[in-house]
Amino acid sequence: MKSKVVKRETLLMFFDFANLLIVLLNFLLIFLTSKFGVLNILLYAASVLMFTLTRHSVTEGLLFAIFYPFSTILLVKTKEAEIEDYFSVPIPEEKEVKFEDSIINSLPIKALLVVGSVNEKKLIAKNLVKFIIHGIRIEENMKYLKTLLRDPHLDVVLYASQAMEDIENYFEEKIARLRNTRSLEFCLSLYYYLRTGIPKGLLKQRLEDILLNNLNSCPKTWQYYEMMFYLTKDEEYLLTGYKKFGYLWMLRRYILEKINNGEYEIVRELIKNCRDLSRKDLREFLGENG
């Protein structure tokens, strides 16, 4: 991944240098001929087009064209402030659960994926890594990350690619470190990794077998019943988990699975038994499904 980034950065520097030469050549021709002819127009158009393509932004290309030739300064990067910070993809070292307030308290992620700025999308990619490795809405957040991989801006794509690599590396390293513990943490790491959709084919099947074997020695927490449902697709684990721990999301998921399977009689019977729920729980149950 790093070698690809270096190659792309080198290629960008080459095009910027070539573009700078085109601008200087255009200046030289204007100075020698004292006029702005067809060749000057062609060189101007080539310079603007090259800048737009390398930046993957029509807006930036338009600004470059409007302020030409003063916009030539955009072709020169400085150590103090790099324009757009292209191809600078930091690899996060720490995995602490620290979420950026600017993302959590701002527009929904779905909206930012469409109308967000480049920096906002980069921040989303960094936060999605933290959400996913801690088991927060894994499938949903993986969809957001894959959306960023198709972003028209190359810088965002690089951040999203690095995020995918960070997720894979995190789980592989953690699973390898905990493989002999047979602990709940080890099982959850396998479970979260499987839910990312990254493991495929034989690797996925092998990890599922390891998880199933290790669950026998894990304590019967609510996560146990969730993982057993994931592996066996047996909805009764959800109902058992709900009865033992009282988590309404387990009951909701159980009912939805029964509806999907066409087992309406069981659903009707279960709804009748909803009277056993407290009024507060029933309002919560109905409200979150309305």
What is the tens place of the pLDDT at every residue in 16-35? Answer: 778 778 888 877 887 788 77
State residue 251's pLDDT score: 87
Name which of 53-62, 145-154, 204-213 the model is least confident about: 53-62
Question: Strand ranges (DSSP E) for 65-132?
Answer: none
Q: Which long-range contacts (CB under 8 A, 24 or more apart) does 171-176 make?
A: 171/133, 171/196, 171/198
Query: Is the preceding omega at residue 108 within 30 degrees of 0, hence cis?
Result: no
Nearest alpha carbon to residue 258 among 239, 286, 243, 231: 239
What is the tens place of the pLDDT at every residue in 50-108?
777 776 666 666 766 776 766 566 555 443 333 334 333 443 444 455 545 444 444 57
- Judge whether 159 and 91 are in contact, CB under 8 Å: no
Q: Provide the 3-class DSSP secondary structure of residue 80.
A: coil
Name which of 31-45, 136-150, 211-225, 244-258 the model is least confident about: 31-45
- pTM value surpassing 0.75: no
**Would you list the DSSP string of 178-218?**
HTTT--HHHHHHHHHHHHTT-S-HHHHHHHHHHHHHHHTTS
State residue 138's pLDDT score: 96
Termini Cα distance of the chain: 45
> Average pLDDT for residues 136-150, to the nearest whole number?
94
d(CA 52, CA 48): 6
> Average pLDDT for residues 215-229, to the nearest whole number?
93
Place of tokens 């292209």: 86
Domain chopping of the chain, boundaries: 2-84, 101-218
